[in-house]
Amino acid sequence: MDIARQVASRATCDRKHVGAILVRDRTILSTGYNGSIRGLPHCSDVGHMMENGHCVATVHAEANAIIQAAKNGVRIDSERDKPTTLYTTASPCWPCFKLIANAGVHRIVYGEFYRDPRIFEYAGRLNIELVGPGPAEQPGGR
C-alpha cells in the first residue's frame, strides 16, 4: 500500500489523490493515478468539471493502471494459482469496479472506503476478494 500512496502523490486532481498498482506474484505489473485525459490540461490548473459534488474531468487511478498495462502489452488477468491484486488508496467507484472485474483481477486491497457500497455485493457474487474498511468503519460512516 505504501507504493500506491507514492503513486497517488502524482495525481493531478487536487480534490483527491488516488494511486493504484496491479501486482501478481509479488511483481508490479502496472501503476496508475487519477489525472486528466492525456493531452488535456490538469483540472487543478484550469478548474474542475463538477457533477454531483465530484470532479469528473479525470481518469481514475484504477482505470489508468489498466490502461497503462494494455498500452505496454502487460497481461493483468489472474493466472491459475497466482491471482492479480489491485492495491488502491481508495475503494473503486462502480465504473472502475466493473473494469477491474472484467480485467480479471481477483483481489482488491484498498486504504479507505470511497462512496459506493455496491462493490461489496458484486465482489461477493464474482468471487473477488475485497480487503479494507467497509463504509461503517469509516469516520462518519453508517
Q: Which residues are catalytic?
A: 62
CA atoms in the 13 A half-sphere facing the CB of 137 = 9
CB 73: neighbour CB atoms within 10 A?
Answer: 6
Q: Which of 137, 130, 96 is closest to 110 using CA atoms? A: 130
For 35-124, where are the E strands, in sequence order? 35-36, 50-51, 54-55, 58-59, 84-90, 107-112
Q: Is the dihedral of CA 122, 119, 10, 35 positive or negative?
A: positive
